[in-house]
């Protein structure tokens, strides 16, 4: 599984999308998923880019709806993050319970849980930086609902290794699985894992009915836990920044590596790597290298490791950046991000958000057909 970093390959990947195959097979290990999330998460492309492409295929709505809806989940989680801010790091609706620890099972980190399909997927995950959505749900359920770990520390472990790490989709999906942001917990038994991940394991501690699973004690395979901790080693500032004092500066960061942003216009372009940001949301070297390679699509970009204030002190012109929940301390000119639909706000459920999106989309469509 490879994730090329040149812009042409990213666009070729968009063109390979098959929306009806996607809808039919997305839950299976080898399903026709897009693998576009690393590029969307890093802000190289947007959900809107993918949506626009899918619309341009002129397929019937019912054959594209599933993919459009999944893309909208990402925008939905982002909207929640914008509105709840730092509270995203706390149990949003109900306290998760029961909780045995605030760590992660060693056997999950070491890919030795005893559930063969999960162990294989974790090994592959370390290699590729990608994990299938259904497998993310299995792993989160194993960590939170079977091993009874609070979701936050295991979520950091997964985020740190994901090329597509997006704290909104990540933390809020973990909370959804753990039941702290949903009305029930998500469980998968061995039969379900065998069906979707082509394994035929029997007799494991998950080989039980859905009535039995929640009543079991923590399996000994998952009992030993440790705190996941990581320090991200950021590049040092060599060569030093060389800003043209007569032009404004565009600030890129971990969530904005868009090569088309003001392309062809005269700006300084700086990729800002703030140590405080990576302390809060650490990532592995593999993931950081992917981010740095993606930044090479942006012409004349310079890399700066330091705080926003330190960058601002080197510039006598305005700093321009795209809106994002991790940027609230930036001072300068904020520009909007692209969204699929013209719907903002903190909706209590995805389907309430989706209903509003469909209403707005139909209205927009009717207006453009009238014009």
Ligand X SMILES: Cc1cc2nc3c(=O)[nH]c(=O)nc-3n(C[C@H](O)[C@H](O)[C@H](O)COP(=O)(O)OP(=O)(O)OC[C@H]3O[C@@H](n4cnc5c(N)ncnc54)[C@H](O)[C@@H]3O)c2cc1C
Q: Give the contacts of 262 (CB within 8 A, at least 6 positions apart).
A: 250
Contact pattern for ligand X over residues 177 through 216, marking x by CB under 6 A = x---------------------------------------
Q: Which stretch binds ligand X (CB under 6 A): 136-144, 257-265, 304-312, 329-337?
A: 136-144
User: For the purposes of burial, counting CB atoms within 10 Å of the CB of 61, is it exposed (0-12), middle (13-18) or buried (19 or more)?
Assistant: exposed
CB 115 within 8 A of CB 193: yes
Q: What CA–CA distance (Å, rounded) separates 78 from 242?
A: 34
Question: Looking at 7, 14, 21, 26, which residue binds ligand X (CB under 6 A)?
Answer: 26
DSSP state of 288: H
Q: What CA–CA distance (Å, rounded) separates 234 from 240?
A: 15
Please say which residue, 36 or 270, places its beta carbon nearer to ligand X.
Answer: 36
Question: Looking at 36, 45, 117, 146, which residue binds ligand X (CB under 6 A)?
Answer: 36
Handedness of CA 195, 199, 203, 206 (dihedral sign): negative
Which residues on adjacent β-strands are paired with residue 217?
A: none
Please say which residue, 167 or 321, places its beta carbon nearer to ligand X.
Answer: 167
Which residues on adjacent β-strands are paired with residue 355?
A: none
User: Which of the residues 77 through 96 are near ligand X (CB under 6 A)?
Assistant: 77
What are residue 117's phi and psi, to 5 degrees?
Answer: -65, -35
Q: Which stretch binds ligand X (CB under 6 A): 71-79, 109-117, 208-216, 317-325?
A: 71-79
Judged by CB under 6 A, does residue 170 bind ligand X? Answer: yes
Question: Looking at 21, 24, 29, 35, which residue binds ligand X (CB under 6 A)?
Answer: 35
Provide, rounded to whole angstroms, the least separation between the CB of residue 309 and ligand X: 28
Q: Which is nearest to 93 in space by CA: 179, 171, 168, 174?
A: 179
Q: Give the contacts of 136 (CB within 8 A, at least 6 positions apart).
A: 158, 173
Judged by CB under 6 A, does residue 135 bind ligand X? Answer: no
DSSP string over 6-19: SHHHHHHHHHT--H
Q: Give the contacts of 217 (CB within 8 A, at least 6 positions apart).
A: none
Please say which residue, 119 or 237, places its beta carbon nearer to ligand X.
Answer: 119
Question: Looking at 140, 146, 270, 294, which residue binds ligand X (CB under 6 A)?
Answer: 140
Q: What CA–CA distance (Å, rounded) separates 25 from 267?
A: 44
Count of residues interacting with ligand X (CB under 6 A): 29
Question: Looking at 10, 33, 152, 303, which residue binds ligand X (CB under 6 A)?
Answer: 33
Question: Looking at 5, 37, 181, 302, which residue binds ligand X (CB under 6 A)?
Answer: 37
Contact pattern for ligand X over residues 225 through 264, marking x by CB under 6 A = ----------------------------------------
The Cβ of residue 273 has, within 10 Å, a number of other Cβ atoms equal to 22
Provide, rounded to whole angstroms, the least separation between the CB of residue 40 and ligand X: 5
For the chain, first and last CA: distance in Å?
A: 45
Q: Which stretch binds ligand X (CB under 6 A): 37-45, 224-232, 247-255, 258-266?
A: 37-45
Provide, rounded to whole angstroms, the least separation between the CB of residue 186 and ligand X: 8
Q: Which stretch binds ligand X (CB under 6 A): 154-162, 205-213, 301-309, 329-337?
A: 154-162
Please say which residue, 65 or 317, places its beta carbon nearer to ligand X.
Answer: 65
Judged by CB under 6 A, does residue 121 bind ligand X? Answer: no
State the chain's maximal CA–CA distance in angstroms. 69
Helix (H, G, I), strand (E, B) or coil at 212: coil
DSSP state of 235: P
Applying CB under 6 A, the residues found at the interface with ligand X are 26, 33-37, 40-41, 47, 70-71, 73-74, 77, 133, 136-137, 140, 158-159, 162, 164-166, 169-170, 173-174, 177
């Amino acid at each position: 599984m490879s994730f090329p970093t040149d812009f042409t390959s990213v666009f070729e990947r968009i063109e390979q999308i098959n929306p009806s195959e996607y809808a039919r097979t997305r839950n299976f290990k080898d399903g026709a998923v897009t693998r576009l999330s690393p590029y969307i998460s890093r802000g190289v492309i947007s959900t809107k880019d993918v949506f626009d492409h899918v619309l341009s295929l002129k397929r019937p709505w019912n054959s594209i709806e599933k993919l459009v809806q999944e893309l909208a989940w990402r925008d939905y989680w982002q909207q929640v993050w914008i509105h709840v801010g730092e509270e995203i790091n706390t149990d949003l609706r109900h306290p998760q319970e029961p909780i045995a620890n605030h760590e992660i099972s060693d056997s999950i980190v070491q890919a030795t849980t005893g559930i063969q399909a999960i162990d294989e997927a974790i090994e592959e995950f370390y290699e590729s930086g990608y994990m299938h959505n259904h497998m993310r749900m299995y792993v989160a359920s194993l960590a939170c609902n079977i091993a009874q770990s609070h979701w936050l520390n295991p979520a950091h472990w997964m985020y740190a290794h994901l090329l597509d790490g997006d704290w909104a989709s990540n933390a809020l999906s973990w909370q959804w699985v753990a039941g702290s942001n949903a009305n029930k917990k998500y469980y998968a038994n061995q039969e379900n894992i065998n069906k979707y991940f082509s394994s035929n394991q029997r007799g494991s501690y998950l080989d039980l009915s859905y009535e039995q699973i929640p009543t079991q004690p923590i399996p000994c395979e998952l009992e030993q836990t440790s705190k996941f901790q990581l320090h991200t080693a950021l590049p040092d500032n060599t060569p030093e920044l060389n800003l043209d004092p007569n032009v404004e500066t565009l600030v890129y960061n971990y969530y904005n590596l868009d090569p088309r942003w003001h392309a062809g216009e005269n700006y300084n372009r700086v990729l800002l790597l703030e140590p405080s940001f990576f302390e809060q949301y650490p990532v592995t070297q593999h993931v950081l290298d992917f981010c740095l390679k993606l930044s090479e699509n942006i012409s004349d970009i310079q890399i700066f490791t330091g705080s926003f204030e330190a960058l601002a002190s080197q510039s006598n012109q305005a700093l321009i950046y795209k809106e994002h929940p991790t940027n609230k301390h930036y001072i300068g000119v904020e520009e909007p991000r692209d969204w699929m639909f013209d719907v903002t706000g903190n909706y209590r459920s995805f389907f309430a958000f989706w209903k509003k999106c469909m209403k707005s989309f139909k209205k927009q469509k009717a207006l453009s057909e009238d014009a």
